[in-house]
Amino acid sequence: MIFYVDGKVPLVCVRHNICVENKSKVTILMLNEPLRPQQAKALIRRILEDGSITYLRPHALERMKARRMSTIDCENILLGGVVQEPELENGTWRYKVCTPKMCVVIRFEDENTLRIVTAWRI
């Protein structure tokens, strides 16, 4: 399945690899990053409905605990926050999502999973 936001730019692109061991064709879905903020927000909403949210361990969980933030806080930020332009850091695209009181930084693992990298209060 390819997921489109605006009907023009796919969020997911398809890549075909040939398995060397048995010469079978393997289809790999990859995100077509970087995503525009509108695309990232649409994918975040889709993941909140049908996907998985993971947390960078131990960093994100330690930061959340120190800043008295819960997983529910993080999900609410993702749901109601504004996505900023992505930044490439350590080889992955990171997206900051902020409300007036809190922020999270996420990265997409695939089209069904996002990982919270860190979180803080403003």
Q: How do residues 30-79 score in pLDDT, each as one tens digit? A: 788 999 999 999 999 999 999 999 999 999 999 999 999 999 999 999 99
Structural domains of the chain, ranges and CATH numbers in brackets? 34-121 (3.30.2310)
Residue 88's pLDDT is 97
pTM strictly above 0.75: yes
- Whether the CB-CB separation of 25 and 16 falls below 8 Å is answered with yes
Q: How confident is the model at residue 27 (pLDDT cuts 50, 70, 90)?
A: low
Kindly tell me the number of DSSP H helices and DSSP E strands found in the chain: 3, 8
Higher pLDDT, 84 or 16: 84
- The CB-based long-range contact list for 80-85 (8 Å cut-off, 24+ gap) reads 82/37, 83/37, 83/38, 83/40, 83/41, 83/44, 84/37, 85/37
